[in-house]
Amino acid sequence: MGDDVKTDVTRDTAAPTPGQDLRAARVARTEAQLIAAATELFLERGYVATTLVQIALHAGIAPRTVYLRFGTKAALFRRVVDRALVRDAEPIAVADRPGTQIAMTAKTLHQRIEALVEVSAGIVERAGALFEVAAQAEGIEPEVAEAAQAGRRATAELCATFWAAATADGLLDRGTDTEALAVATDVLICADTVVHLRRTRGWTGPEHRALITQTLAALARPRG
């Protein structure tokens, strides 16, 4: 039994072989092609009118590969949105990204707000159009609806954490209602607001950036 355990540990910790590296690179390349094709078609045709077969053909990949890799259109769409949110395939949540960490730890409140706005506006620029597609899909796909709700909760938590950290670090005037600030910030940066502003005003990143910056600067009271 001891020898078997030792053998298993050795196998698990062994470096990947050249063949494994090539297979991993091939899988990553195929996935990137599918995500790029899916992004283009979802934005062009919307969620309902886009099929996995169309995505496969657009990517030049066998439809069977799409089903094996993602299983459902909803799962592929979630990957499309995730990739747009973080710009890469690294499994690091937005809250743990360097820009967000700066928003939580910078020396001044102004610097923190600037960093938060940068993160939020960047997401709008990369994924704003996809949020509109997600709003369409949310009503018919439970998986997309669940992901959207998780995103809303994560955004609300991020906003609460942002103002709690500013308070703990002594950057806000005494008596500041941080709970109200967190709610206001959530309303400003959440995906639902992005969709509303795009539909009613045609706004993209720069306009949204200005709205967040000006509103938070007016609401927050830095410690004097």
Cβ atoms of 143 and 74 closer than 8 Å: yes
pLDDT above 90 coverage of the chain, percent: 67
CA-to-CA dists, residue 132 to 52, 137, 155, 166, 183, angstroms: 19, 9, 17, 32, 22
* Distance of alpha carbon 125 from alpha carbon 209, whole angstroms: 10
**Are residue 27 and residue 130 in the same domain, yes or no?**
no
* 144-148, 176-180, 206-210: least confidently modelled range: 206-210
pTM above 0.85, yes or no: no
Number of folded domains that form the chain: 2
* Tokens at 32, concatenated: 């990137």
Cβ atoms of 160 and 180 closer than 8 Å: no
In a domain, 79, yes or no: no
In a domain, 21, yes or no: yes
Mean pLDDT of 26-54: 94
pLDDT attached to residue 14? 57
**Are residue 132 and residue 193 in the same domain, yes or no?**
yes
Cβ atoms of 63 and 30 closer than 8 Å: no
**Enclosing domain of residue 19:** 2-71
Give the model confidence (pLDDT) of 105-158 as tens digits: 999 999 999 999 999 988 888 899 999 999 999 999 999 999 999 999 999 999
8 has a pLDDT exceeding 70: no
Cβ atoms of 162 and 210 closer than 8 Å: no
47 has a pLDDT exceeding 90: yes
Cβ atoms of 143 and 75 closer than 8 Å: yes
Chain centroid to Cα 103, Å, comes to: 16
pLDDT attached to residue 33? 94
* Distance of alpha carbon 206 from alpha carbon 223, whole angstroms: 28
Give the model confidence (pLDDT) of 50-63 as tens digits: 999 999 999 999 99
In a domain, 11, yes or no: yes
79's CB contacts (< 8 A; 6+ apart) are 31, 35, 38, 70
Q: Give the domain CATH number at 189.
A: 1.10.357
10 has a pLDDT exceeding 70: no
**Are residue 205 and residue 98 in the same domain, yes or no?**
yes
Give the model confidence (pLDDT) of 84-117 as tens digits: 987 765 555 666 678 889 999 999 999 999 999 9
What is the SS3 assignment for 14?
coil
Give the model confidence (pLDDT) of 189-203 as tens digits: 999 999 999 999 998
**Are residue 66 and residue 98 in the same domain, yes or no?**
no
In a domain, 83, yes or no: no
Of 21, 38, 71, which residue sits at a domain end? 71
Mean pLDDT of 24-47: 92
Sign for the pseudo-dihedral over CA of 98, 100, 105, 109: positive
In a domain, 19, yes or no: yes
**Are residue 103 and residue 180 in the same domain, yes or no?**
yes
Closest CA relative to residue 116, chosen from 72, 159, 52: 159
* Distance of alpha carbon 52 from alpha carbon 164, whole angstroms: 44
In a domain, 80, yes or no: no
Q: Give the domain CATH number at 48.
A: 1.10.10.60
**Are residue 50 and residue 148 in the same domain, yes or no?**
no
**Are residue 99 and residue 54 in the same domain, yes or no?**
no
In a domain, 116, yes or no: yes
